Amino acid sequence: MTVTPDRPTPTAAADSARPTIIDRFVSANREYAVTFQDGGMDARPVQKIAVVACMDARLDLFAALGLELGDAHVIRNAGGVVTDDTIRSLTISQRALGTRSIALIHHTGCGLLGLTEDFRRELELEVGQRPQWAVEAFVDLDGDVRQSMQRVRTSPFLLHTDDVRGFVFDVHTGLLREIK
């Protein structure tokens, strides 16, 4: 096989022919849409709840919490941390879309447990710019859940802070442990 300079080598061609994960998303979505049924719901969550959770790939919130499509708002970030942007989403969730309850879910083996604010300093050294955000790393999982509940309960923007509960999800057993 001849290879012209403006063509990829056979190896590169083979690589580019291999579907990427996003290519797989696109084909999986075509299959999904074949049997997809519009439930006719509007944007307000049926169960009037917002869940704030870590982005961890082992945390399947819908299965773990018995949620159905349309039931809940799900707000996820690294650590399931209550940042200003989390409060922004919760405020919209409650004031514009009618949710009342908030569940916070951290988990064992979280990637943030091994990090410190050194991450931020090292990043600044590397790129020459200090990030606007805090890493929000923590060493005390239960303590961080309590801190997150406190941030939610003391937010002046939220309408409903009487049903705020926090949990640690165990990635090995699949069980939630409530933090009081």
- Applying CB under 5 A, which residues contact Zn ion? 54, 56, 110
> Length of the chain, please?
180
Q: Report the nearest approach of Zn ion to the CB of residue 59 (Å).
A: 8
Instruction: Identify the helix (H) or strand (E) that includes residue 120.
Output: helix 118-127
Task: Indicate the residue among 48 and 106 with the shorter CB distance to Zn ion.
Answer: 106
Q: Report the nearest approach of Zn ion to the CB of residue 117 (Å).
A: 17
Instruction: Show the tokens assigned to 31.
Output: 């299959």
Task: Indicate the residue among 49 and 81 with the shorter CB distance to Zn ion.
Answer: 81
Task: Indicate the residue among 54 and 145 with the shorter CB distance to Zn ion.
Answer: 54
Q: Could you write out the three-class secondary structure of 4-62? A: CCCCCCHHHHHHHHCCCHHHHHHHHHHHHHHHCCCCCCCCCCCCCEEEEEECCCCCCHH
Q: Report the nearest approach of Zn ion to the CB of residue 32 (Å).
A: 27
